[in-house]
A and B are shown apart, each in its own frame.
Chain A
Amino acid sequence: MGKTTVTANIATALAMLGKKVVAIDADIGLRNLDVVMGLENRIVYDLVDVIEGRCRLRQAMIKDKRQPDLYLIPAAQTRDKMAVSPSDMILVCDELRQEMDYIIIDSPAGIERGFRNAVAPSDEVVIVTNPEVSAVRDADRIIGLLEAEEKGPGRLIINRLKPEMVARGDMLSIDDVLDILAVELIGVIPEDESILISSNRGTPVAMSGLNGSSASQAFRNVAQRLQGETVPFVDLTPKRVC
């Protein structure tokens, strides 16, 4: 639920902290991380080109010129979904580990090959959910699968929270979701128009920080928590400046 936007923003926010970061779009056939990051015009090679040996890994890494050390490896657009296997992903990531501080992989929706590709090389999994019945149910299933693969339980981002709706009792609250899923929370991203505006422009909100947007701050907080820092959660009580 918003995995691509979250990936783009976490990768950007970590790069803003001076880390060497590469984001990988693992959604073969439905490439999108490139447009959210605003790098779609610079694609020459993609992940499948690397795996099938048509280029070196370096050649498929698009450098985001707005940050000192942020790269994107785009997904292939028109190829067979089975072109990438979990062991391919492990090989690619093992090579990237040598020089990168963080490899952020955007998993496709679902629980099939694409999901397994994204999980196989990972040291840690971040689950993105919305405060909706269907999304929380899916997140519970994902947590179960992660535990089965011994990659779990993962940490949770609650995305698109509307504090006003929570306040009037018409949306699952942060505590409700945590009660049900019983995993550690690593971020709460409020519903915020500036996320869409930033995506429209191809500049992740973590970077653009539109009008001191609360979502921008929330993403930068997630990056700091991933670094092991303790950052208090933004107060999302309505009618207050966050």
Chain B
Amino acid sequence: MNWFERLLGKQEKSGATAKQRLQMVLIHDRADVSPGLLEQIKDDIIEVIAKRLEINPDNVVVNLDNTAQESRLVAEIPLLQQNGRRRATVQ
């Protein structure tokens, strides 16, 4: 769906929605990691990092990423800006 259709308030076709939802749910099914477990892992990571670095817990994102070969846990943890330096991301 392009921006123009979005602007017109058009709804995405249900077939496409079905595919996206399936892809998301299967990432969790295949890795046997529930969204709840992912939340717990995220909280743990925040706790560890926050001991040493300044971060905003609200900006931390932990996701499962699946390819045919492997599943990986991807964490994005933006550090709070210091002295005008660019934001760093730990992956």
Residue ranges of A at the interface with B (Cβ–Cβ < 8 Å): 132-133, 136-137, 140-141, 144, 165-166, 168-173, 176, 179-180, 182
User: Chain B contacts of A166 at CB under 8 A?
Assistant: 15
Q: B44 → chain A, closest Cβ, in Å?
A: 27
- Contact with B21, one of A133, A144, A169 (Cβ below 8 angstroms): A133
CB distance from B47 to the nearest CB of A (A): 33
Evaluate contact between B16 and A141: CB separation under 8 angstroms. no
Q: Are A172 and B15 interface neighbours, CB within 8 A?
A: yes
Cβ of A22 to closest chain B Cβ, rounded Å: 35
User: Interface residues of A: mostly helix, strand, loop or mixed?
Assistant: helix
Number of A-B contacts (CB under 8 A): 42
Sort A-B residue pairs by CB-CB distance and give the 8 closest, nearest first.
A169-B13, A169-B15, A176-B19, A170-B14, A133-B18, A171-B15, A172-B18, A140-B26
Tell me which of B13, B16, B22 contacts A180 (CB under 8 A): B22
B37 at the interface (CB under 8 A from A): no
Q: A140-B30, A166-B15, A180-B23 are in contact. List 4 more A-B contacts (CB 8 A).
A: A133-B22, A140-B26, A169-B15, A172-B22
Contacts of B22 in A (CB 8 A): 133, 136-137, 172, 180
Decide: B15 and A176 in contact? CB cutoff 8 A.
Answer: yes
Would you give the shortest CB distance from A226 to chain B, in whole angstroms? 26
Q: Which of A140, A141, A144, A173 is within 8 Å of B15, CB to CB?
A: A173
